Amino acid sequence: MVAFAGRKYAARSTPTFVSNSSFTVSSFTLVLEFNKGRLQNLHWKKDGCGACAKSSNLVCLGKQTCAFRTQSCKSQGPVDCSIGIQLAFSGTDKHESVLNSWYEVSNLRQYSLYGLYSNLKDTLSGQFNKFF
Query: What ranges in the chain are assigned the alpha helix state H?
Result: 105-109, 114-129
**What is d(CA 69, CA 23) in angstroms, rounded to the nearest whole number?**
5
Closest CA to 79 of 97, 49, 55: 55
Does residue 70 surpass a pLDDT of 70? yes
**What are the C-alpha distances in Å from 7 to residues 4, 40, 45?**
10, 13, 24
Strand partners, 34: 39, 91
The confidence score (pLDDT) of residue 111 equals 52
Instruction: Convert the pLDDT of each residue in 74-118 to its tens digit.
Output: 877 888 888 888 888 999 999 999 988 766 666 655 555 445 455
Does residue 132 surpass a pLDDT of 90? no
Percent of residues, the chain, with pLDDT higher than 90? 30
**What is d(CA 128, CA 119) in angstroms, rounded to the nearest whole number?**
15
